[in-house]
A = this chain, B = another copy of it.
């Protein structure tokens, strides 16, 4: 029997670790964590060379422990993949002081010299968020109570996580009962729990997705982070297992304006992004297999590649094409999408 406690679970508040990182691209995880969960981030820890500032208080390990911090979260990817020894020292000190150490890096925490022993002695946990639970259920397709929204995409890396978090934030602002449900490493750090769905054994794909958004109160919304795309030749299996297991009532389509070729296929065999209507139709067909009332409630477009002056016209064009409330959540927020959800699914407890 699968127990919910098998799902990765992080203890807040966090000390966000930036090491000696030099570029914002390498610090996306930590910056995202601070953006979406400022209340959980008590402070940041940086080496003298670090050029990134998350805009929160610098805090040495001893002070973090004294103020009740529970976990050091590595908010940065080492350039080149190797962990510099200066980082290793900080991580060992944190574990010695009893802080859980949380990582989304490819290198496993237990492979960092002395870290495993330090954690054993203090009782701290080492949590690699790329590792799924050892025990997962087979999917059943049985309906669960509560409402669910899944962000799906025309491609990988088109803003599904950002979209889901924007919708969660807007629903919470309105006083709705809502949880962001994470399926990737950065999302798991932000949510404090979740399963890295692309790392589970294939047989358990939809079962893992079912475990990610368990039964809830009838008007509670789970906003689920999507992965990949049903038409992506590398990752479609992950996307379909996640779609089936999520049993979404509502779908939000995510897309990057001006992207024509699917990510990762540019060099070997370029795959064109499918049309918006084809993408919607294919997602709906599979979603309705597990939830007949499934429907699209919004379109989220990353317009960063569009000149500022053309943005509105592009969004209006997309809105006509899809018939959906269309926003760039970075600029517009997700209010129009949540309005549509309220319209489609009726008044929520606090709406």
What is A's interface to B at a CB cutoff of 8 Å?
138-143, 197-203, 205-207, 230-231, 233-242, 244, 264-265, 268-269, 271, 282, 285-286, 289-290
Contact = CB atoms under 8 A, between A and B. Distances in A.
Identical chains in the assembly? 2
Contacts of A235: 139, 203, 206
A146 B141 CA distance: 38
Given A198-B202, A202-B202, A289-B231, A140 B268 contact: yes
A201 B203 contact: no
A236 B140 contact: no
B233 A289 contact: yes
A265 B200 contact: no
Contacts of A269: 140-143
A202 B238 contact: yes
Contact of A138 (B230, B244, B264): B264
A277 to B, nearest CB: 14
A241 B233 CA distance: 8
Nearest to A138: B234
Given A240-B240, A282-B285, A285-B282, A234 B202 contact: no
A236 B235 CA distance: 13
A246 to B, nearest CB: 11
B237 A206 contact: yes
